[in-house]
A and B are shown apart, each in its own frame.
Chain A
Amino acid sequence: MSSLPTIQRMMVEQFDLKIESLTPDATLESLGLDSLSVIEFMFNLEDELKIKLPDERVEIKTLQDVTDLVDRIVAEQSA
């Protein structure tokens, strides 16, 4: 199951973003998120989904990139 709805819900809660703006192809930059707010968001995602994201830098530009990364880690870590 895609983690997109969870990511969208958390972005609404944490950053007051409008759900309509949170399309998969929306870039984080266009949503007003800088690298620091993304770090904070990923930290909260780890807590929410009980996962550990990789330490190495992963190219993340869009909401779909976040979703793909999280879905991959969820699959690996629940395997």
Chain B
Amino acid sequence: MSRRVVITGLGIVSPAGSSPDQFFTNLMAGRSGIKPLTCSFADQLSIKIAASVDDFNPSEHFSKIQLTGIERFSQMALVAAEQAVQDAQLVLDESEYSRAGVYMGSCLGGAGTLEDGYIEVFKRNNPRIKPLSVLLSMNNAAASHLSIKYCLQGPNITYSTACSSSAIAVGEAYRQIKHGYADVMLAGGAEAMLTLGAMKAWEALRTLAHEDPEDPGASCKPFSKNRSGLVLGEGAAVLVLEDAERAIQRGAKIYGELAGYDCSSDSSHITKPDSAGQTRTILSALRDAKLQPSEIGYINAHGTATLAGDIEETKALKLAFGADAYKIPVSSTKSMHGHLMGATGAVEFMAAILALQHQAVPPTINLQQADPECDLDYVANQGRTDIPLNAVMSNSFAFGGTNAVLIARRFVA
């Protein structure tokens, strides 16, 4: 069985905006959500910037009783999902519950809860740890809360493949519908890892960007000669994916068709990105979408702004697209929303879908002088409107070597 899959709802809580409209407006305007950390532990960090979601107020969305059992990453997932479900005007009748599911991505789940528990046990020698710690912190909590809230009785799985987690979640959800195991899927990712322990661990790995002394918001500089790494972020993004026939029958608004996906592995090194593996994934996704490379009008790059990552991705794009690689606008929106880890793939695919919808391409900001080894069109500093787009691609290349590529195209019934 092979069916077409469409995107009918979007929801997002991110450092660059907490609705799809606000998010895309900010991206097009080149507004950065990266800023100095104001939290209590900022002094204990060497790198004191992050892409935090400062305007997220849980009490606007949940009662205190509910908050007892819902961690920050699950809170953001629930808020993003509600936006997406409303946007899609999705109503499931009881007979459809078992044909609807949820796939989410997360790297560290409820990192804050786990760290709070560790502080009690290891630092304060407190023998008591909060009784709901397991339920708050488990990686699959966000997806499970979505399943419970929306009666999603089909598959409920959480993927944890580092930076590609939520791209995999979206892609695997697409396959569930495509191959007839489900008719509707909520898919995305959630991450809330701006905690002292997690940030220290990232600092130690030496992949974080140094703070730009003049403008902290400009610290993440993908493809730039003076790039120094990624900026950690938090947030959630959820998409409603639907069997195209179902969406047409109910007259749903359709953002586009999820036309192609592939997931494959570098199988070479735990951190070092590998253009050969990335190229394999891109080409397989294009085959799945039945598209020629030249038909892709915009690529949302993985573009982490690490030294090796940006060069390797540039190589992969050249290998996959040949001479067309130089003609296709490629941008890294991480320059604005930071790296949301387990949520980033879904956030960036959403940026690509919104680009398709608006026929506009968001920029890579902070790109004054490109690295000579990064010589593609990265849409430097200025977004472009009135760009005819038929198909768009989003790349996610993870630590561990798990690559994922998603392709959306304009839907023609």
A interface residues, Cβ below 8 angstroms from B: 14-16, 32-34, 36-37, 39-40, 43, 46-47
A-B contact pairs, 23 of them (CB 8 A): A14-B68, A15-B64, A15-B65, A15-B68, A16-B64, A16-B65, A32-B63, A32-B65, A33-B65, A34-B69, A36-B135, A37-B68, A37-B69, A40-B68, A40-B69, A40-B130, A40-B131, A40-B132, A43-B128, A43-B130, A43-B131, A46-B128, A47-B128
**A36 in contact with B132 (CB, 8 Å):** yes
A39 to B135, CA, bound (A): 12
A46 to B126, CA, bound (A): 14
Q: Is chain A's binding surface mostly helix, strand, loop or mixed?
A: helix
**B69 in contact with A16 (CB, 8 Å):** no
- A60, chain B: closest CB distance, angstroms: 15
Q: Which of B96-129 contact A (CB under 8 A)?
A: 128
10 closest A-B pairs by beta carbon, nearest first, are A16-B64, A37-B68, A39-B131, A15-B65, A15-B64, A43-B131, A40-B68, A36-B69, A32-B65, A37-B65
Residues of A within 8 A of B130 (CB): 40, 43
How many pairs of A and B residues are in contact by the CB < 8 Å rule?
32
A39 to B128, CA, bound (A): 13
Q: Is chain B's binding surface mostly helix, strand, loop or mixed?
A: loop
Interface centre among A32, A40, A46 (most CB of B within 10 A): A40
**A36 in contact with B68 (CB, 8 Å):** yes
Q: Which residue of B lies closest to A13 (CB)?
A: B64
A28 to B183, CA, bound (A): 38
Residues of B within 8 A of A40 (CB): 68-69, 130-132
Residues of B within 8 A of A47 (CB): 128
A14 to B132, CA, bound (A): 15
Residues of A within 8 A of B64 (CB): 14-16
Interface centre among B65, B130, B135 (most CB of A within 10 A): B65
Residues of A within 8 A of B65 (CB): 15-16, 32-33, 37
Residues of A within 8 A of B128 (CB): 43, 46-47
A34 to B148, CA, bound (A): 15
- A16, chain B: closest CB distance, angstroms: 4
A41 to B69, CA, bound (A): 12
Q: Which of B156-179 contact A (CB under 8 A)?
A: none
- A11, chain B: closest CB distance, angstroms: 10
Residues of B within 8 A of A46 (CB): 128
A37 to B70, CA, bound (A): 11
- A37, chain B: closest CB distance, angstroms: 5
A16 to B67, CA, bound (A): 11
Q: Which residue of B lies closest to A42 (CB)?
A: B131
Residues of B within 8 A of A34 (CB): 69
A15 to B68, CA, bound (A): 8
- A26, chain B: closest CB distance, angstroms: 14
**A39 in contact with B63 (CB, 8 Å):** no
